[in-house]
Amino acid sequence: MIHAKPALVCTLIAPLFLLSSTTVNANPPVRIILDTDFGDDGDDLAALVVLHHLADIGEVELLAIGQSNSRWDAPGAIDVINSYYGRPDIPIGQVDHKTHEGDQYPSFLVKNYKYDLDLKNVPSAVEVYRRALANAPDKSVKFVVVGFKSNMRDLLKSKPDAISPLSGGLQLTSFVAFSKPREPRR
């Protein structure tokens, strides 16, 4: 479990990316939706910090974040990090089942830092994604998926509704999936 303050964690990770680019991009920012299994290990925190850094220098616009594991406290922890970076209004969604709380950094963050989210009323990730996609120009959004692909599956299966007349499969533009390597089968 990470016992460091989020400011310290973010401060330790962000300088690595300052070396690559410190100037503002002349191109329009890439619109990103992050889908993450926030809290299972540190790759999710690192991905979120990188995206906030890239938003700070004008490379990306972070439209929405969804979490794909069953941690009930993950949306609050994501909101802590978003607030630290000055983006407390980024929509956050979660997988429909929210069951466990582990002894990992999301629990530490929601117990020790302020967040504005009502953890009992977080919308589904699919709803958040459909709203973000419906409000964006066609083919202008990229998904970054770190972890489970269940929210992506559910988005693809989603039907037209009050948010959009398109099915999720027709709304989806493109996504990049980062997965942990699996052990070869024997």
| CA 138 from centre of chain | 21
Model pLDDT for residues 109-126, shown as the tens digit of each residue: 999 999 988 888 999 999
CATH fold label, 30-178: Inosine-uridine Nucleoside N-ribohydrolase; Chain A (3.90.245)
pLDDT at position 57: 95
* Whole-prediction pTM: 0.78
Kindly report the backbone phi and psi dihedral angles of residue 10, in degrees, each rounded to the nearest multiple of 5, phi listed first: -65, -40
Query: What single DSSP character describes residue 183?
Result: P
For residue 131, is pLDDT > 70?
A: yes
Which residue, among 113, 119, 60, 131, has the nearest Cα to 94 in the 3D structure? 119
Max Cα separation, the chain? 50
Two structure tokens written together for 175: 């996504």
Would you give the DSSP letter of residue 168?
H
Q: What confidence category does residue 184 fall into, taking pLDDT thresholds of 50, 70 and 90?
A: low
pLDDT tier at 103, thresholds 50, 70, 90: low
Residues paired with residue 61 on neighbouring β-strands, in sequence order? 31
Domain boundaries, the chain: 30-178
CA separation for the pair 32, 89 (Å, rounded): 15
